[in-house]
Amino acid sequence: MRACIAAVALLATGCMSMEPKYARPEPAVPASWPVGDVYLRSAEAGLPALTYTQVFTDPRLQTLIAQAIANNQDLRGAAANIVAAREQYRIQRAQQLPEVDASAGTTLSGQRDEATGDTRVTADYRAGLSVPTFELDLFGRLRSLSNVELNRYFASEAGARSTRLTLVADVATAWATYGADQSLLLIAQETAASAEKSVRLTRLRLEGGIAPRTDLRQAEQVLTQAQADLARQRTALAQDVNALQLLVGAPIDRTLLPGSVDEAFNAISLVPAGLNSYVLLRRPDVLQSEYQLRAANAQIGAARAALFPRISLTSLAGVASGALTSLFTGSAFGWSAGASANYPIFQAGAAKANVRLTEAQRTAAIASYQSAIQTAFREVADALARQGTMAEQLGALARRKAAAADNYLLNEARYRAGIDPYLTTLDAQRSYYIAQQQLVQAKLTAAQNRIDLYQAIGGDSLLQLSPICQPLPSDNNASNAKVASQCSPM
């Protein structure tokens, strides 16, 4: 019996495959990033290799990211989906091997003797092993279905890595936003304090008959605007903390938060994008699309194999006896075996329609794969275009802030000396206030741009493989089978 099962399993492993030969579609994007004065010039010719700790260098931010990876509910859900996909693959692959059942039982029966009135009891004991139904996978239907689940498993793992990458970027964005709102709060506090001094001075000048009432009302406008901004920024900071707590999945230690936008901006390094746009093929969402395409390709093989007959084997070997003491003697042994073939004669074209359905699904999967690459290409190109001009914008806004600060000081001195009206000072103060706010917003935009580029090229997914084992795509089923045996042992 054991030799029979081994022979059947060996026969099944030698089956043919009806899957189309997989060839990765040529990416429908240029081979390199856009070039020109607008775009960032990169001296890195190879693929970027970095971890989030190399991009987000502040230990406080690294701590929050590590906590988010450990606690975030979306990431936990993604990990559970990986386990479910892996077990689904194991369930499907198990169908390629015969199921062996063990059974044992006894049957008692009684018959009354009419002559004596006694009841005669007889017993029937049995035990054995059986293979209920085992399909010989001669045309590769079961193996193709296993490949479908294998690639869905890999797609699920890639999707989890995409979720992880998004989580890291979201935590960094929320952290930088808190730093920007903290800077805006400080600016509002400084402006409110300066405006209070201006109101006191203008009131004294009004009481002394030197200044008109309009000067006092104009000074109060700046003060009330700064006070309103203070209230708004306090709300924004509280909401930033709430967003971080949701991402991290735990209360936030306030000592891990940045004190200003400059701290946040300086904690995020520039990301080398490389020159070769084919780095996008290793982005998690693109990998996920490719594995889904591979699954659709394998589904065609299963649909084609369903057009051919299914051959099934059954077998039984065991012992049976009317006495328990003689159950395991040689005379009690018996066996049986059988084979059957099933081939649908009339299905109204359903089987062939199923093949065409899977082919259409593969075409849709190719389009989805190309769309994922094109979207990724645009995201990287947009980030490079923004980063290429960001330094010039920051420099111009910094110079504007310095000029506005000097202009405000000069106009305030001229007003106190009675040379210019207060309206000139008011305009200068407002310009300085706006210049400070715009510089903070620009620094936040620059930090966000670095985060976007990190996420757009795939981040540290280019280096780190999941403990569940995520290979890069290959172009043959044999390598997938090898990966499956290494990553998901039965």
Q: Where is the domain boundary, 326, 342, 358? A: 342
Query: Do 221 and 84 belong to one domain?
Result: yes
Would you state the pLDDT for residue 462? 45
Query: Do 131 and 181 belong to one domain?
Result: no
Interatomic CA distance for residues 369 and 295, integer angstroms: 12
Burial class (CB in 10 A: 0-12, 13-18, 19+), 405: middle
Query: Do 211 and 317 belong to one domain?
Result: no
Residue 271 lies in a domain: yes
Query: Do 324 and 380 belong to one domain?
Result: no
Query: Do 477 and 336 belong to one domain?
Result: no
Query: Do 252 and 379 belong to one domain?
Result: yes
Question: CATH number for the domain including 121?
Answer: 2.20.200.10
Residue 3 lies in a domain: no
Query: Do 108 and 42 belong to one domain?
Result: no
Domain count for the chain: 2
Would you state the pLDDT for residue 464? 40
Residue 107 belongs to domain spanning: 100-136+310-342
Would you state the pLDDT for residue 39? 56
Residue 4 lies in a domain: no
Residue 396 lies in a domain: yes
Question: CATH number for the domain including 28?
Answer: 1.20.1600.10
Q: Where is the domain boundary, 298, 322, 342? A: 342
Query: Do 185 and 84 belong to one domain?
Result: yes
Would you state the pLDDT for residue 331? 67
Ranges of residues in the chain with a pLDDT under 50 are 1-13, 42-48, 462-490
Query: Do 250 and 301 belong to one domain?
Result: yes
Residue 461 lies in a domain: yes
Residue 263 lies in a domain: yes
Q: Is 99 helix (H, G, I), strand (E, B) or coil?
A: coil
Query: Do 194 and 332 belong to one domain?
Result: no
Q: What is the pLDDT of residues 358-400, one digit of tens each?
A: 989 999 999 999 998 998 888 888 888 888 888 899 999 999 9
418: left (phi over 0), alpha (psi -120 to 50) or beta: left
- C-beta separation of 447 from 171 below 8 A: no
The total of other beta-carbon atoms located within 10 Å of residue 36's CB is: 8
At CB < 8 A and 24+ separation, what contacts does 34-42 make?
34/381, 34/384, 34/385, 37/388, 38/385, 38/388, 38/389, 39/381, 39/384, 39/385, 39/388, 40/273, 40/384, 40/385, 40/387, 40/388, 41/388, 42/272, 42/273, 42/274, 42/275
Query: Do 49 and 126 belong to one domain?
Result: no
Interatomic CA distance for residues 142 and 306, integer angstroms: 10
Residue 447 lies in a domain: yes
For residue 214, the Cα-to-chain-centroid distance in whole angstroms is 59
Would you state the pLDDT for residue 328? 66
Residue 131 lies in a domain: yes
Would you state the pLDDT for residue 38? 57
Q: Where is the domain boundary, 321, 342, 363? A: 342
Query: Do 330 and 428 belong to one domain?
Result: no
Q: How far is CA 256 from CA 59, 67, 104, 178, 264, in A?
A: 8, 12, 66, 11, 11
Would you state the pLDDT for residue 134? 77
**pTM (2 decimals)?**
0.79
- C-beta separation of 334 from 279 below 8 A: no
Q: Which is nearest to 177 in space by CA: 454, 447, 459, 450?
A: 447
